[in-house]
Amino acid sequence: MDVTLLGTGAPQGLPRPGCPCAACATAVGDEARAATALLVDGVLLIDLTPGPAFAAARAGRSLAGVRQVLLSHPHDGPAMEVPAGLPQPGRVADGRELALLDGHRVRALAVDGPGTGYEISGADGERLLYLPPGAAPAGLGNGTGRTAGGGAGGQGGAGPYDLVLLDVLARPDALARLRAGGLVDAATDVVAVHVDHDVPPGPELHRRLAAVGARAVADGSSLVVGEYHAVPDLPRRTLVLGGARSGKSLEAERRLAAFPDVVYVATGGTRDGDEDWAQRVSLHRERRPGSWRTVETCDLVPLLEAARPGREAGKPGSEAGEPGKEAAAPGTEAAGRGAGAGWPGAEAAEPAAGAGTGRPADASPLLIDCLALWLTHVMDEVGAWDDATWEAGGRRALRERTDALVAAVRATRRTVVAVSNEVGSGVVPATPAGRRFRDELGRLNAAFAAECEQVLLVVAGQALALRG
């Protein structure tokens, strides 16, 4: 199948009409995007974009052969024209299948918002999935490999899609659900559509997409479904550095938002009577996807060495019963159309952890937030704040603990994103203990970074790549 993207933007396009924001001001050239519309093999048109005939001609295509026009969502953008000679647009009911005379088959799939997803199969068995803006699969799963109703999101034998087009930036959890259900794997070409002005166009847009294994293409691009395309090489280990309130935790969370079974490792724990700390913890919990599991612990080495998911459960601070363990989030399929109409395997038996994801069972990604609090805890345990204890053995004990952590990072087979404070550029601490912490955190950051494929420094919410 050949798919031409007549548009790749949000329903209102990019730039949005009359919008003065910086993203819209810089959306020029290939970064300017009309409302998303797909032309499949010149015969099937999915959604409409302003001036579709002109958009097709600009891409070297014609709408003369179009036999079916399908809409995926209620349109709230600029008025759309239906060129003369095209069939009237229609919708396919969720769960129903439409067979076209030229051999294409279109199955309508339920999503958790207004609109319908479409699975399109070609005569040679190629398969693509297209989701409307702001939508995620309904009844497929919540990013843990399990459906809201207890069933699995597995494909039931059909395997992963060759091409997936969805609103990656607004709904990274949709990509996580597809990965958990085995519908997206490392060979799937994931292309972002419905691109809006929430992310700066250009390098920042492409950086964020690459971090979750997706890409964006310009309006008028043609894609061959099933053709090999080099997907972004996702790093196994990433260290995100930054100062206070720099956006480092948000950057780390973005990097795993499109992956299932994430284990969030909170090293700060709780602090009785500290209202400011409680508010910070609450904000972090509210921001995390509801499907993530939370572990509150500073015992990081066993997590990095874990051979199977069950090993976390027996460790201090395991997610069972811990504060911060989230239930299904609003907007997941539990709150949407529970029937999950049309999604293959939606009623199958629940799989074991990791089943159908294309990953080993012990491969749940870890997000560690943060190393500075881990170091504070370890320095407490070894008595590093007291000068006499420090010289009598505290220094050696701290080195042993940090060396063990760094060695575990080097050997881990899990995807790890760790957050740490960059404290070496500020005021020199007034106390020996403060200077000791600053120095030891600098050493830990450097040793940890040496074992990571990617290192980022976040300043004023902007991520700068130091490595990778």
Instruction: Identify the residue whose tokens are 């799937």.
Output: 188
Which residues are CB-neighbours of 432 under 8 A, at least 6 positions away?
A: 387
Catalytic residue positions? Answer: 284
pLDDT at 83: 82
Lowest-confidence segment of 73-87, 103-117, 190-204, 407-421 by average pLDDT? 73-87
pLDDT at 215: 95
More confident residue, 318 or 136: 136
pLDDT at 68: 94
Q: How confident is the model over 12-42, as pLDDT tens digits?
A: 999 999 999 999 999 999 999 999 999 999 9
Q: What is the mean pLDDT of residues 422-451?
A: 91
pLDDT at 406 over 80: yes
How does the average pLDDT of the chain come out, rounded? 83
pLDDT at 308: 41
Instruction: Identify the residue whose tokens are 């066993």.
Output: 302
pLDDT at 136: 95
pLDDT at 303 over 60: yes
pLDDT at 358: 44
Task: Label residue 263 by pLDDT band (50, 70, 90).
Answer: very high
Locate 223 and state its tokens: 């894609």
Q: How confident is the model over 369-401, as pLDDT tens digits?
A: 999 999 999 999 999 999 999 999 999 999 999
Lowest-confidence segment of 1-10, 318-327, 377-386 by average pLDDT? 318-327
pLDDT at 273: 65
Task: Label residue 272 by pLDDT band (50, 70, 90).
Answer: low
pLDDT at 341: 59
Q: What is the mean pLDDT of residues 179-191?
A: 94
pLDDT at 433 over 70: yes
pLDDT at 149: 35
pLDDT at 382: 95
Q: What is the mean pLDDT of residues 92-116?
A: 91
pLDDT at 460 over 50: yes
Task: Label residue 141 by pLDDT band (50, 70, 90).
Answer: low
Task: Label residue 280 by pLDDT band (50, 70, 90).
Answer: low
pLDDT at 270 over 50: yes
pLDDT at 355: 41
Q: How confident is the model over 192-247, as pLDDT tens digits?
A: 999 999 999 999 999 999 999 999 999 999 999 988 777 667 899 999 999 989 99
pLDDT at 349: 30
